[in-house]
Amino acid sequence: MTLFSDLKLDPKVLKAIDEAGYTAPTPIQAEAIPHALEGRDVLGIAQTGTGKTASFTLPMITRLGRGRARARMPRSLVLAPTRELAAQVAENFDTYAKYTRLSKALLIGGVAFGEQDKLIDRGVDVLIATPGRLLDHFERGKLLLTGVEVMVVDEADRMLDMGFIPDIERIFNLTPFTRQTFFYSATMAPEIERITNTFLSNPARVEIARQATASETIAQELVSLQATRRDAAAKAKREALRKIIETEGDALENAIIFCNRKVDVDVLSKSLIKHKMDAAPIHGDLDQSVRTRTLEKFRNGELRLLIASDVAARGLDVPSVSHVFNFDLPSHPEDYVHRIGRTGRAGRSGKAISLMVPSDQKYLDGIEALLQKTLPRADAPDTGLASASAPGGAPEDAPKPKRARRSRKPANDNAEAQATSDATPTAEPTPEVAKADAPAPQAERPARGRGRDGNRRDTDRRDKGSRNDAPVGMGDHVPDFLLREFRTA
């Protein structure tokens, strides 16, 4: 077995990881660090939880130990898709570099430019950033990337999902071609392959077996509900979820509950709170300080139920979660593995319970094909579900989303892009989500000017003129020109 002491890391780094309590390098660390220390580019195909952050941070610190930072010219650059991930890398860096004199700056949205400028002006060894924010600084002329010796792209597959690839290409082109590059992705989509072929030079390819099979320590269950209409389905799922949480009792220490759409994260979390459960939402539309506080509380055990979207939760290191729920089955099967991988970590047992309705069948097929097994079915809890499939108006247990307009974006869209000036999102809802979001057939449509949940829509605001009725059959969106009055001479 490889030991950290075999890895030719800076003794100051070894001291810090010893203090962090790491006994041996993880497989990706054992494989990547020697290549990295030789100065080679590394292409890491691995996901969160494998110890990948330390696999690039430790050699980076060792390399940067020699030399000094110059004003406005960072010596290394770490790009992460979301603020949380960037902040997490920064935290890791602080832990591992505590015995060195290396300086760092974190460039993420939600933090005033002024403070970040000051740090950069002074000169930093390590700059950790989200792509949009980094380019904002660059365009303001506050930053030169010509001194970058090491560049890291973390979670490139997520960058791709979020539409950051053009930004990444641009940033690559702003750095010297002599730089050393560490590039990490959980999957190698053709677009990612193209980027690595263009910008990496003879990389050492380090692949850590994909978690295509979920950990053995996770007990998985699938609960099938009969509701077919969307509003009824959501209500049935909320009822079933509450019942399951009650039934699990004390065994459920804490849980992450995943929804596919941000709006559902909010609705579900309000509904759980209304039912006196200890819950809070996390998604990209929430203020950064709220997100950070919520996560901190969840990590400290002060919050029991974290309702999350994929991007907000992805890569977050929450050490011990007893349960994961898929309130919605994810449309990308890989996300199922990522999600349930939040429980059953480090040999602990965990439980992953997924809810589905008939329209989710295609997602289930994808998940079972990826896992190459059938998910164990569990009985639906007795919630009087007969009513669930009955058509009806607004779900009475759901909070009335007075101001919350129904978002057309999936929850797993660009969390970062929601931040002011932080990014330019290009991610579109996946076809599946777009389809799920599509207007209901006319027979199912509620009163004009109201959504399928019976709540008033934004279109109402336009109804001031003589045309009071929004045209039927256009879905929730009515093009402006259809509402305009015109007269013939």
Tokens representing 19? 């203090």
Residue 170: count of CB within 10 angstroms of its CB: 13
CB of 392 to ligand AMP, least distance (A): 44
Residue 407: which of 272, 259, 280 has the closest Cα?
259
The residues of the shown chain that bind ligand AMP, judged by CB under 6 A, are 22, 25-26, 29, 48-54, 317
Cβ-closest residue to ligand AMP?
Answer: 53
CB nearer to ligand AMP: give 95 or 359: 95
Cβ proximity to ligand AMP, 100 vs 226, nearer residue: 100
- Burial degree of 374 (CB within 10 A; 0-12, 13-18, 19+): exposed
Non-local CB neighbours of 255 within 8 Å, separated by 6+ positions? 245, 304, 305, 306, 321, 322, 323, 324, 325
Burial 383-401, CB ≥16 within 10 A → b, else e: bebeebbeeeebbeebeeb
Choose between 215 and 260: whose C-beta lies nearer to ligand AMP: 215
Least distance from C-beta 299 to ligand AMP, angstroms? 11
Residues 6 or more apart in contact with residue 443 via CB below 8 angstroms: none
Give the nearest distance from C-beta 203 to ligand AMP in angstroms: 19
**Whole-angstrom Cα distance, residue 362 to residue 123?**
52
In the complex, what is the shortest distance from the CB of residue 50 to ligand AMP, in angstroms, rounded to a whole number?
5
Of 88 and 260, nearer to ligand AMP (C-beta) is 88
Could you tell me the smallest distance in angstroms from the CB atom of residue 25 to ligand AMP? Answer: 5
Encoded tokens for 432: 């599946």
- Indicate the residue among 227 and 308 with the shorter CB distance to ligand AMP: 308
- HSE-CB at 37 with a 13 A cutoff on CA atoms is 17
Smallest separation, CB 345 to ligand AMP (Å): 9
Stated as kind and residue range, the H or E segment containing 246 is: helix 230-248
Of 21 and 141, CB closest to ligand AMP = 21
CB of 367 to ligand AMP, least distance (A): 23
Distance CA 293, CA 460 (A): 36
The whole-angstrom separation of Cα 108 and Cα 419 is 9
Nearer to ligand AMP, 51 or 109 (CB): 51
Nearest to 267 by CA among 64, 406, 471: 406
